[in-house]
Structure 1
Amino acid sequence: MIKIFKYLFIFLIVNFTFYILHSDVFAKDFSSFYKVTYEFDKNGDSEVTQEISLINQVSNLYVSQYSLSLIGGEISHVEAYDKIGPIKTKIEQKGETTILTLDFNEKVVGKDKILSFILKYKDTGLAKKEGNLWQISIPKLANWQDIDEFQVLIKVPLEYGKISVINPNPLENKTSGGFYNLSFKKENLINFGVAATFGQYQTFNFKIGYQLKNQTGSATIESVAIPPDTNYQTVYFESIIPEPKDVKVDEDGNWLAFYEVPPNEELMIEAKGKVDIFPSPKNSEKNPTPNKDFLSSTKYWEANNQKIIELSSKLKTPENIYKFVVKTLSYDFQDIKNRTLRTGSIAALENPEASTCSQFTDLFIALCRASGIPTREVVGYAYTDNQQIKQIAEESDLLHSWPEYFDTIRNTWIAVDPTWGNTTGGLDYFNKFDMAHFAFVIHGKNDILPLPPGASLDEKQKRINITFGEDVPKSFQQKVNIEEVTPSIVYSLKSNKLKILFKNNTGIALNSEKVESPLSVIIPNQWYFERILPFSQFEIEFSLKPKEMFKDYTQELTFSFGEDKIKYNIKVKSLLLRSAAFLGGILSAAIIVLLSSIKKNSCKPKDKDVIVQEDSRGQ
């Protein structure tokens, strides 16, 4: 029995936090007002400006010192000043934390008196380029109860690309001076900071290994699930070695590559290519309404369990179920190293502290299905910059799972990730998705099959390699070949039924494809295909009635796929010529028989008496 392990990649958005310390005073003795500006340059470095005002609420206290702790990043070019001039600043490094301490020039005493100052520094840790995308992370607001007003302005160069995701939504989003100007206030930053992604899509390079084994004494047809196009991704295969005999799609949308495996042998397969990941569903994907299979109870999605039914009756909606799962379960990082087995939704409820992505996903699916909401599981890769997870991923293949529910209003599958909603400290992975999730397989009708890549391989052998790709045009020369023509010979004077088997060797799915033939002797001469999978076979049928009747010849069949043309020569044999030859043969045979009969009759004697007389003379 093959065991499937699924693990989480954690995407840490918040990488440092403000800490405000007042010497000799309590925060309640002062009102505080902040205006913080982050201005990014084309290299990802940011200049941070904090304009701060502290207002005395008592008459006998003053602020002598201000301290700020910054976790992560490289802090430089620190300067601070007030109305008197430069403020003495102390910079202290403790591990990854930079502590800035300001000693004020003046002692502002008296109720309602205001101490205003400005702190500036450069930080290289807030923005980074990852593949096609720029990712910006602004820290959340700590000690927010002690701050009366807090405004944030984030200035991002337009050359970073189109805004893809901003979490939370800005109060204002204006464009001026070559920058996006994004405004936030205190209430936006209490629970978490700002996470923004710029760029239309993310590109990953992939190289994935598969293994098929045949332990029988005869050849078998086996399949592996290769990464499919989905609502959120488009796949470009550069090669699959060896090339599959055919590729078919199942009811969940998985792409299954079929191979003939010789008896008592194993077959190693390598798929190589690129994938573009999008933050929201593509309009090009067709989404028929799911059937009852996506509501059924299974081994890991116990939708019929009484406890699940009772919970679902209270939660009812996908969003409520998402929030419940995020709040109830706790991610156990130790389980990644221990390779804990998948336990299912009920076990997740009974032991919420020992959860990985499988438990988060299984519980969400079970609760949704019990509420009558079609749901399914997606298993694949998810990018993380968490160093602990990265180290494990470098040594072995780690997979991540997340659920999708069917939105009947938008008529599409919507991806959510309650695991990341839990591990990122509250970032919203229900209303917004990212471009870090790369789907390998989809489980809807079955909670295990098809197996994802790596499931049937030696656990110690790494066979999944994912890296950031470049934002370059994907140019694929369309290669559609004729595999087989049946029959191989046709005849004139009749309508011949033909089948032609084609194969798409392009490496990408061909969508809304029309096949045409300019020949009037072919009926019909147009065929439409909603989707032709990469390396898949497809078939057309038509009638061919050759015009030439008096000779054997070769008929050139021509088919066009867009701007490409495919030609095939088929032998045409004349029935008229063969009929004439046949009739000529029959006529010749008849004449020969007739002539033979005439010749035979001419050689017979006229009467018997003559013969007697001749015989008498001879004696």
Structure 2
Amino acid sequence: MYKVYLAIILLFFPLSFIFSRNSFAEDNFETDASIEYKVNDNGLSSVTNVFTLRNLKSELQVKSFVFTLRGVNPKNVKAFENGNELVVFQTQENKNTIFTVNFPEKVAGVGKYRTFILSYDEESFAVKSGEIWEVNIPKIDKDNIFDKLNITLSIPLSFGDEAYITPEPSEINKDTTNKIYVFDKSRLVKNAITAVFGKSQIYSFNLMYRIENPVNKKGLTQIAIPPDTSLQRVYYENIDPKPKRVYLDNDGNWLAEFLLPPKEKIDVKVLGSVQIFTKPRKLLAVSAHVLNENTKPKEFWQSDDPQIKELASSLKTPEEIYKFVTNYLNYNEERVKPNVVRLGAKAALVSPNNAICMEFTDLFIAIARAAGIPAREINGFADTDNPKIQPLSLVADVLHSWPEYWNKDLETWIPVDPTWGATSGNDYFNKLDLKHITFVIHGSDSTLPYAPGSYKLGPNPQKDVYIAIGSLPEKNRPNIKIEYDLKNKFFIFNKELLIRVTNSGASQAFNLNPKIFFDGKLTKEENIQSLPPYGQHRISLDIPSLIFSNKSPKEVLVTVDSVQTYIDNKSYNIVILRLVVIFILIFLTLFIFLIKSHKLNLKYYVSYLISKKNKS
């Protein structure tokens, strides 16, 4: 933030005074400013301020110009007027850097003006954070003396496309090396300039889940681990202990399943990385059933409430709903603490001054659903330096929530953040930044599954969620394997082939196409839309017996794209044995039949053999 003052000298009096725009200077001088922030490839910003001071009274002139910067550390400060260098006095007060420029020449008379340049270099305006560049330009102080203001932000093309920029520039230009954003005063009154450049950002995560089986028999327990979404891709380094499997629910959550012995307690440690993208990717098709489920009222989304339905009748688009929620609710930072009671959409309408992220999210979802727009909640982590809305994950596992709505034209879920929109004044509807990490998705249920940080045991819960800027792991691909069991249904009948397609890699695999061949002929084919890390897909089929069918294969081939496994049927190796066994079984059956039908007198034959032996 910066502030400017003028030192005014009265031609008829020997004393000079410093006045802010709110007093003397406002009525006697007009001040225009054109400020250029030019960022180089290394992130150093060269700032050039061109100031024009115009006299409105004949008896006054400007003797000094005072320029204040807050929270920065400028270097190479210089000032020029008409090509001549001016002396700049630099002082420090707390976090403020104050420049004073004295003018040696007098400029007097109504309409007379002077134009001078104040320039400096600053390293903190552009910062490399992981895979992205973050640019933050100081906010214009509300007491500034500028009548006209124009700011130009020049960003090297090497930074990549903007992932997010606010406020919206009035003009965007481009040359061979830079992209140039122009802002006028009307867009800078409320907000600083904030921008993020780059295609993606990568975070590492370290999550702990504390789970137990409270009953006296073995039982399955599930935990929700961070999933892939249209805006994020997850890479898993390790889950310890290894889950029985990982599968997707209808909302797109990844659920890791563990089989626990009776009365068993375990700590599950999950390590990995997540890559956040600027633009949504098309992943899995969303069914009409799921979209319909995301328009129904739930415990905290009372879309059937008369007042909410009345709002929905007038707020018919997601953007109108977003603007209403951000303007109607007020953030109450005193409620941001562990175990806070969730109010829900209906209570948020009644108590608009008592909202935190849950109420902003719940009210948006309830109104959207009442308007027939599919909407759902995301629970996760949002990285911010704003202490008023920062998650308490530094000291506790209080996470952030924000809504998503279904864009039927793009056929994807679009995230928005009305909480950040209300607290920052920035636009978090048209473009989200690269700082929101999805942990769980709530669509068919407003509370389940629970997000990481919620799985705690005992009276003294510990911190279980750790997030940091990371890098793309070396092992970041799926690893598809084929496992199988070949079982005899009965000794002489068909065999059952059980095939498991597993993913032991770091990331999710998409659109896998398992095929099973009997002696080179395609017998069965399936499609696996997605297979997450630690996931498995099962296929079962019968192999005909050689004894009763001439279609029993000698060799079975299983392929999943480029992965393949040969299975030796071994029928031909045991065919003779099976024939012998069948012959013995037939003989015994016939023998028993003859005895029971009295066609074979076993006692007679035994007596005959004994007497014959005695004679000999």
Instruction: Provide the TM-score with structure 2 as the length reference.
Output: 0.85
1:322 offset after TM fit, Å?
A: 1.1
Distance 1:27 1:472, change over 3 A: farther
**Hey, what does 2:14 align to over in structure 1?**
none
> What is the correspondence of 1:193-232 to structure 2 with a 5 Å cutoff?
193-232=192-231
CA contact under 8 A between 2:152 and 2:181: conserved in structure 1?
yes
Provide the secondary structure at the position in 1 that maps to 2:530: strand
CA contact under 8 A between 2:488 and 2:494: conserved in structure 1?
no
Provide the secondary structure at the position in 2 that maps to 1:19: strand
**Hey, what does 1:124 align to over in structure 2?**
123
Q: Does 1:476 align with 2:460?
A: no
**Hey, what does 2:138 align to over in structure 1?**
139
**Hey, what does 1:240 align to over in structure 2?**
239
**Hey, what does 2:11 align to over in structure 1?**
none
Distance 1:109 1:590, change over 3 A: closer
**Hey, what does 1:317 align to over in structure 2?**
317
Tell me which amino acid in the other structure corresponds to 1:21. Y
1:586 offset after TM fit, Å?
A: 5.2
**Hey, what does 1:83 align to over in structure 2?**
82
**Hey, what does 1:8 align to over in structure 2?**
none
1:269 offset after TM fit, Å?
A: 0.8
1:433 offset after TM fit, Å?
A: 0.7
Work out the CA distance in 2 between the residues paired with 1:387 and 1:92.
29
**Hey, what does 1:363 align to over in structure 2?**
363
Higher deviation after alignment, 518-527 or 216-225: 518-527
Provide the secondary structure at the position in 2 that maps to 1:428: coil
- Deviation by residue 1:520-541 (Cα, 9 ceiling, x = unmatched): 3665243321111221221123
Higher deviation after alignment, 251-260 or 30-39: 30-39
Provide the secondary structure at the position in 2 that maps to 1:63: strand
1:381 offset after TM fit, Å?
A: 0.6
Higher deviation after alignment, 129-138 or 153-162: 153-162
CA contact under 8 A between 1:521 and 1:546: conserved in structure 2?
no
1:268 offset after TM fit, Å?
A: 1.3
CA contact under 8 A between 1:212 and 1:261: conserved in structure 2?
no
**Hey, what does 2:348 align to over in structure 1?**
348
> What is the correspondence of 1:263-302 to structure 2 with a 5 Å cutoff?
263-289=262-288, 290-302=290-302
Provide the secondary structure at the position in 2 that maps to 1:324: helix
- Deviation by residue 1:26-68 (Cα, 9 ceiling, x = unmatched): 3243333322111123332211001111222333322222222
Tell me which amino acid in the other structure corresponds to 2:307. K
Work out the CA distance in 2 between the residues paired with 1:442 and 1:302.
18
Q: Percent identity?
A: 31
CA contact under 8 A between 1:68 and 1:99: conserved in structure 2?
yes
Distance 1:500 1:173, change over 3 A: same
Work out the CA distance in 2 between the residues paired with 1:491 and 1:582.
10
Work out the CA distance in 2 between the residues paired with 1:177 and 1:408.
38
Instruction: Provide the TM-score with structure 1 as the length reference.
Output: 0.85
CA contact under 8 A between 1:521 and 1:544: conserved in structure 2?
no
Q: Does 1:308 align with 2:302?
A: no
**Hey, what does 1:419 align to over in structure 2?**
419
- Which stretches of structure 1, 4 residues or more, deviate above 6 A after TM superposition? 388-391, 489-492, 546-551, 587-591, 593-597
Provide the secondary structure at the position in 1 that maps to 2:360: helix
Tell me which amino acid in the other structure corresponds to 1:20. V
Tell me which amino acid in the other structure corresponds to 1:435. L
When the two chains are superposed, the root-mean-square deviation of aligned CA atoms in Å is 3.4
**Hey, what does 2:177 align to over in structure 1?**
178
CA contact under 8 A between 2:393 and 2:466: conserved in structure 1?
no
Tell me which amino acid in the other structure corresponds to 2:104. N
Work out the CA distance in 2 between the residues paired with 1:204 and 1:596.
87
CA contact under 8 A between 2:392 and 2:399: conserved in structure 1?
no
Work out the CA distance in 2 between the residues paired with 1:595 and 1:374.
81
Between the two structures, name the one with larger relative contact order (CA 8 Å, sep ≥ 6).
1
Distance 1:204 1:193, change over 3 A: same
**Hey, what does 2:331 align to over in structure 1?**
331
- Deviation by residue 1:116-136 (Cα, 9 ceiling, x = unmatched): 000011122211111111001
1:83 offset after TM fit, Å?
A: 2.0
> What is the correspondence of 1:595-610 to structure 2 with a 5 Å cutoff?
none
Provide the secondary structure at the position in 2 that maps to 1:457: coil
Provide the secondary structure at the position in 2 that maps to 1:52: strand
CA contact under 8 A between 2:203 and 2:470: conserved in structure 1?
yes
CA contact under 8 A between 2:127 and 2:135: conserved in structure 1?
yes
CA contact under 8 A between 1:490 and 1:572: conserved in structure 2?
no
**Hey, what does 2:465 align to over in structure 1?**
464
1:222 offset after TM fit, Å?
A: 1.2
CA contact under 8 A between 2:7 and 2:64: conserved in structure 1?
yes
**Hey, what does 1:562 align to over in structure 2?**
561
CA contact under 8 A between 1:489 and 1:571: conserved in structure 2?
no
CA contact under 8 A between 1:131 and 1:470: conserved in structure 2?
yes
CA contact under 8 A between 1:505 and 1:534: conserved in structure 2?
yes
> What is the correspondence of 1:162-173 to structure 2 with a 5 Å cutoff?
162-173=161-172
Tell me which amino acid in the other structure corresponds to 1:160. F
Q: Does 1:20 align with 2:19?
A: no
Work out the CA distance in 2 between the residues paired with 1:481 and 1:232.
30
CA contact under 8 A between 1:489 and 1:570: conserved in structure 2?
no
Provide the secondary structure at the position in 2 that maps to 1:243: coil
